[in-house]
Amino acid sequence: MNTVITSLLILCILPITCAWIAGYYRQQQLGSVDNKEPRIQSQQLSGAGARAVAAQGNSWEALAVFSAAVLAMFIAGVDLSGVSTPVLVFVALRIAYVPAYIGNVDKLRSLIFLGGFGICMYFFYLALSAN
């Protein structure tokens, strides 16, 4: 259970990390970081900065799917300590996803995304087959 909780914590921090990276690009590309209208300013980014913003959005989305899958397993009574390895693989994939996205390595990014999504679908399968 501690592995799952720690992983959830890491996955909650990951989108914030992407926002900090995007902030760096806002400073570099636009000359300042506008904390009054950060989303409007972020829309002005291009290249790696725009991809950092997109990686942030995708990280929130992946967190939602992963959290729902973990919740489904918990509700179904799946032993969460038995899924530590795929949980850790999911976290590693999500961490690798960010530089792949920002670095514009599109095919690798897509493979990483599919691997993580597949793990979430496996978790739903475990939840559905637990009863």
Eight-class DSSP state of 1: -
Helix or strand run (H / E) with residue 82: none
> How many structural domains is the chain composed of?
1
Question: Would you write out the chain's pLDDT as a tens digit for each of its 131 residues?
Answer: 799 999 999 999 999 999 999 999 999 999 999 889 989 999 999 999 999 999 999 999 999 999 999 999 999 999 999 999 999 999 999 999 999 999 999 999 999 999 999 999 999 999 999 97
Check which CATH number belongs to the domain holding 105 and give it: 1.20.120.550
DSSP string, 28-78: HHHSS--SSSHHHHHTT--HHHHHHHHHHHHHHHHHHHHHHHHHHHHHHT-
Q: Please give the single-letter amino acid code of residue 103.
A: G
pTM of the predicted protein model: 0.94
Residue 1 pLDDT: 74
Q: Tell me the residue range of the domain where 41 lies.
A: 2-129
As a dihedral over the C-alpha atoms of residue 8, residue 9, residue 14, residue 19, rounded to 10 degrees, the angle is 130
Confidence (pLDDT) at 89 = 98
Q: What is the pLDDT of residue 36?
A: 93
- With 0-12 / 13-18 / 19 or more C-beta atoms within 10 angstroms meaning exposed / middle / buried, residue 129 is exposed
